[in-house]
Homo-oligomer: A and B are copies of this chain.
Amino acid sequence: MTTLVASGKTKELYTTDDSSVLRVHYTDHTTAGDGLRNELIENKGAVNNEISSMIFTYLNENGVATHFIERVNETDQLNKKVEMIPLEVVIRNFAAGHFQKRFGTDYLQTLKEPVVEFFYKDNDLHDPIVTKSDAIGLDLIQADKLTQLEEDGLKVNQILKKLFDKMNVTLVDFKLEFGINEDGEIILADEISPDSCRLLDKDTNESLDKDVFRKEAGDMMPGYLEILNRLRAAI
């Protein structure tokens, strides 16, 4: 027997026979503009399930502890159940998105060092940015855990930058979510896909990610499939 235990904007979480394991179903839902736009894009769930599975496997093999166990069918994967930390960890190598708008930089302006930002995951508050000092003052998380999130984020960035370089893809920025496992350890959870990364073809600077959908610039699936195919060739 399997029960839906939780669902969000794009994924559904189901129980399995093992209480420490969830089956995560990747849907075709695609959202933008703080959830105001929400469309079904055929095949996206399956493609993101496969991309996310490949990237998590690669990270597991490269010394990053993740929730990923195995992909079980086209749209579903098994993940270790964790207690989610309500922070989005965003790592930026070049200026884009909110960051670009907030600071009025050029699109893709180079950053002196990779930037790590935290956003408090709260739909009612529209996921506000939270500094480390804010997070500690608000007692959202302990200081040492925040430091670990930052270090883990930068480590994932190093590993993925190299992987995407091999694929002739620029990793502009991406969002991670972490959780606490049964042993009280912080592990990487949620997903890593073109929904949660900005990825550009190095030759053309063409977006191979959700920015195509955000900007209503046509069909985003060719870019997603391109990432999947280049991953298959690179890993």
Contact = CB atoms under 8 A, between A and B. Distances in A.
Interface of A: 92, 99, 102-105, 111-118, 120, 122, 124-125, 128-134, 136-139, 150
Given A117-B131, A131-B131, A125 B137 contact: no
A104 B129 contact: no
A212 to B, nearest CB: 26
Which 7 residue pairs across A and B have the least CB separation, nearest first? Answer: A115-B137, A111-B137, A102-B128, A112-B139, A115-B133, A131-B131, A116-B133
A154 to B, nearest CB: 10
A138 B125 contact: no
A19 B220 CA distance: 60
Within the oligomer, what is the number of copies of this chain? 2
A127 to B, nearest CB: 11
Given A92-B137, A102-B129, A113-B137, 4 more contacts: A112-B139, A115-B131, A118-B131, A133-B150
Given A112-B139, A129-B129, A139-B112, A117 B103 contact: no
In terms of DSSP, what is the predominant structure of the interface of chain A? mixed
Contact of A129 (B105, B124, B131, B150): B131
Contacts of A117: 131, 133-134
B124 A138 contact: no
A132 B134 contact: no
A134 B99 CA distance: 9
A122 B111 CA distance: 19
B92 A111 contact: no
A103 B120 contact: yes
23 contacts: A103-B120, A103-B130, A103-B138, A104-B122, A104-B124, A104-B125, A111-B138, A112-B136, A112-B137, A112-B139, A113-B133, A113-B137, A114-B137, A115-B131, A115-B134, A115-B136, A115-B137, A116-B133, A117-B131, A117-B134, A129-B129, A131-B132, A132-B132
